[in-house]
Every structure is written in structure tokens, then in C-alpha cells.
Structure 1
């Protein structure tokens, strides 16, 4: 079944639903991110990045677009909605990593990943933000060899989070590199990670926060802390 098409309320561009982000009108009248698109109530879809989102909010364009989508002006847009959305996308991506790890779809450790890569069993490769360039290069080369794509640009993706946060999300120690050995799992992870990375943009950096021990909901973009209260209250 094909992914339903939705229209971004800000750009008016049409895209498959899984590539967009849903905003929902909560029972308390707040507009909140619903990144899993499961919360009840009226929804609206956005396909812009965080900078465009914040600009639209500051200029009042977001409120007008939401009023048309919700068919009411009786709602509150939190001042930190862009940050709430980024935090929800981050949490969703890290939760997906944890789920795939518990299902046995992920490998960690350079030796294990390298062996799987050279055997042609790797479908995706990820690195912590603080992984060494040499370690990334060696695993990418092993992946190209195993995929018979030497000389191509095939390589791993550097995630915007450091190893302590990746380790906490996967429930393992010192996670620097992640290899995905299942094609379907690679697709699920790619979707969650791509949506998050597209929204936050290339210029935002991450730093471990004091509450990292809380797990996947702990990390945040430098300059803000993810809010504890989200749309998950009424899902």
C-alpha cells in the first residue's frame, strides 16, 4: 500500500505522509507534535525544517495555517513548539534504535560490524558524532568491499549525537558504531532518522545533558532541554 499524500500547511507542497510531521490539537487546547501520527483529534502536517518553522511561528503564518487546518482559532501554540518538535523527533529516532537493538537487528563493535560488512550482510551503517574519522573510514571501506561497490561513495551516516546517548538508547556500553543487518530494519531506522535530521538541519550540534541517565528522552539540542510533557499524554 502506498504512503498517503499530505500537504504541508506552510509550504503547500505535497509529500508522502511518512516524510512529514503531524501537529495535533490536544484536548487542553495546545498544539503539540505527534510524530508517530497516532494521537486523536484534528491534525495538520508540516514539511519544513526547524528554522523555517520558527520563522513561520514568529511571523504569525503558522497560527493562520493551523486555524485553517483545525477550522478553529481556539488553540494555544507553545512558544517552544519548534524545540518540542525536535525533541519528539529525537526521542522517536532513539526509541526506534532501541527497539531494533532489542530485536537483534543491530550490531555494535567495530570487529563485528566489519565482519558483517565484508560478508555483504550490512544494510546500513551509523556512527556516533564523536566517532573517530579513522574508524568510520575503515568500516565504510569494509562495507563497500562486501557490497561490491568499491570506488563508490557508499559510507556510513554520522548521527548528531555522541556515544553516551547512543549507548543509553541501545542499552549497551560504549556504542560508537552501529551496523544494521536486516533490510526492513534499515528502512524503519532510515525513516525515523531522516525525518529528525531533516527537521533539525545540518547546523545544530548536540551535547550530553545532565539527565542523560534518563534514557532516550534525555538528550537535547544544545540550547534547550526536551520538555517532559508532550502529546504522549493523550495518545
Structure 2
């Protein structure tokens, strides 16, 4: 069976075509205010920007949204911050769904047991975890990756995310003291993993080197 081609869109800031997984869409709300469409499902005209906080900040600074949409655009006071919050909310909601599906485990002892068996698809550590506690999780994770390389297993990777504080995780999940957690196998956990990857990319992406090149009027068309 032929592999399905990945959908691509053009970043209105850099004018590069990229897979939608590497972009984030923005749309105009009914009130004319631009909002992040994190699931890329909202109706109306949209603008795609490289998935990165700096890229969104650059797009605001260079007035990319109004030029691309060819209309007056009202921007939130802190669009990069709002976008990050929306991505965090989607990630936390997905974690909640994974927990309900029995595909989310928390607590140092339980997570270490999963690490020993390699029975997880992602390791999650709170940003305020102690260095010692963190090392007790990262060590076994590195050992798993090393063993896979020694066995010649290609493409084996269990990502490690440090995206939110224990308080943020606990409040969203209705739990206390969520420092160490893991996603196990299943559709709900896989959905949470994808949202974690998007949040991590957004937080870490430094923007592109060519964003200082000014856009020419009319050379970027929004999707409809």
C-alpha cells in the first residue's frame, strides 16, 4: 500500500511549506479577534505559522496576520502566551482522557516499574521535580535506549517531557503531588503524546533564521 502523503501548508512568516504537525493555525473569531486554532478545525480563513513561540512573536511584530488575511486584525495582548496556554490546555485535557482510559500512571515507584519493563510510550516529569528524583527516572530511561541500540533496534525512542509543574498537572488531573508520570500504550495515551510533542516544539522552537526578511504584499495567501 502506498504511503499517504503528509498534508503540508505554507508558513506565512517564512513562506516555507511544512507538514501541518510543524505548524499552528490561527483564525479570526466572529468578533474579529485572532485566536489560535490548535486543532486546526475551526471554520473560516486561517493563517499557518511555524510551531514555535518565537515564530508567533515574530509574526505579530511583522504584522504577518493582517497582511496574509488582507483585513484589519485585532490581536490579543499576548498572542504567543495565549497560544502556549491553549497548547497546555489541550495537553492536560488529553492526559485526563488517558487517565480515564487507564493509560496514565503516576508515582515514582509505579513509573520506575514501567521503566524497568520498558512498558511505556512517554516519561513525564514535573518541572519542579528534585534533581535526585529526576535522575532516578532519567537513568533507567537512558538504559532502555542504550539496550535498544545494543540490540540493533531502530527507531526505538521513549520521549521524556518536562513541560508543566506538579501543581499544574495535579490541578488538571484532580491529583496531588504529580511529580513523575508515564503514558502507557493505547489510543488515548498516543493522543496525549502527540499533544506533548506539539507543546514541547512550541516552547523550544527558536524561530527561523530567515524571519527578518520582509514579506511582499500579496505573496502569502491564507487557507480558506
- TM-score, length-scaled by structure 2: 0.76
User: Residue 176 of structure 1 is aligned with which of 175, 179, 182?
Assistant: 179
Match of 1:79 among 77, 80, 84: 77
1:227 alignment counterpart:
none
Residues 157/148 of structure 1: CA separation in 2 closer, same or farther (3 Å cut): closer
Deviations 1:109-139 (A, max 9, x none): 1111111211221221010001122222222
User: 2:31 maps to what in 1?
Assistant: 28
Structure 1 pair 113–125 and aligned structure 2 pair: CA distance change class (3 A): same
Residue from 67, 91, 94 that aligns with 1:93:
91
Change (3 A) 1:80 1:147: closer
Instruction: Work out the CA distance in 2 between the residues paired with 1:94 and 1:151.
Output: 32
Where structure 1 has 5 or more consecutive residues not aligned to the other structure, the ranges are: 68-72, 204-235
Note closer, same or farther for the CA distance 1:181–1:158 as it changes in structure 2 (3 Å cut).
Answer: closer
Following superposition, the deviation at residue 164 of structure 1 comes to 1.0
Aligned pair count reads 198
TM-score by length of 1: 0.73
What is the aligned partner in structure 2 of residue 129 from structure 1?
127
CA contact (8 A) 2:94 2:195 kept: yes
SS of 2:56's partner is helix
Higher relative contact order (CA 8 A, sep 6+): 2
Q: Superposition pairs for residues 211-222 of structure 1, below 5 Å?
A: none
Q: Unpaired segments of 5 or more residues in structure 2?
A: 151-156, 207-224
